[in-house]
Structure 1
C-alpha cells in the first residue's frame, strides 16, 4: 500500500462509506431535532400552565387585598367607636364622682 493512502480506509471491510456516514449523521440530527421539538412543546405547555397559575394567583391576591382593605376600614371604625365610648365613659365617671361629692356634702 502506498504511504500516501494509509489513511484511506474506504475499501476496508465493515467501514462505512462517506455516504453512509453522512446518512447516519443526518439520521442522528433528525432524531435530535424531533426530541428537542418534543421537549420544546412540553416546556411551552408547562409555561402556559404557569402563566395560568400566575393569573389565578393575581386574582386571589387582589381579592384578598380587597377583603383586607374592607376589614381594615371596619377595624378603624370600631376603634373610633371604642375611643368615643372610652371618652364618654370617662366623662360619665367624672360626672358620677361630682354627683357623689355633692351627695356626701348633704
Structure 2
C-alpha cells in the first residue's frame, strides 16, 4: 500500500462522497448567511431606533435651551428691577434721615429725670 493512500477513505462504506461534502458545506454557508442577515436586520432596526431617540433628544435639548434663554432674559430684567429698587431705597432712606434731622432740630427733646 502506498503511504499516500492511507488517508483515502473514498471506498469505505458510509463515507460521504465529495458531492455530499460540498452540499453539506453549502447548507452550512446558507444557514450562516441567513443568520447573518437576521442579525443585520436586527442591528439596522436598533440603529433606526437610536437615530429616532437621538433626534428626539436634540429636539428636547433645543426646546430646553430656548426656555433657558427666555428665563435668563426674565432673570436679567428682574435683577435690573431689583437693583433700581435698591437704589431708590437708599435714596429714600437718606431723604428720611435728612427729614428726621430737620424734625429733631425743630422739636425740643424732652428731658426726663429718673
TM-score by length of 1: 0.95
**Which residue is 1:35 aligned to?**
35
Q: How does 1:79-90 map to 2 (within 5 A)?
A: 79-90=79-90
- Structure 2: which 5+ residue stretches go unaligned? 107-114
1:17 aligns with 2:17: yes
**Which residue is 1:55 aligned to?**
55
Tell me by how many angstroms 1:2 deviates. 4.0
Higher radius of gyration, 1 or 2: 2
SS of aligned partner of 2:19: helix
- In 2: Cα distance, 1:42 partner to 1:50 partner: 12
Give me the CA root mean square deviation.
1.0
Tell me by how many angstroms 1:12 deviates. 1.0
Structure 1 stretches (4+) deviating beyond 6 angstroms?
none
**Which residue is 1:93 aligned to?**
93
Higher RCO by CA contacts (8 Å cutoff, separation 6 or greater): 1
SS of aligned partner of 1:105: helix
SS of aligned partner of 1:13: coil
**Higher mean Cα deviation, 13-22 or 88-97?**
13-22
SS of aligned partner of 1:14: coil
**Which residue is 2:112 aligned to?**
none
- Structure 1: which 5+ residue stretches go unaligned? none
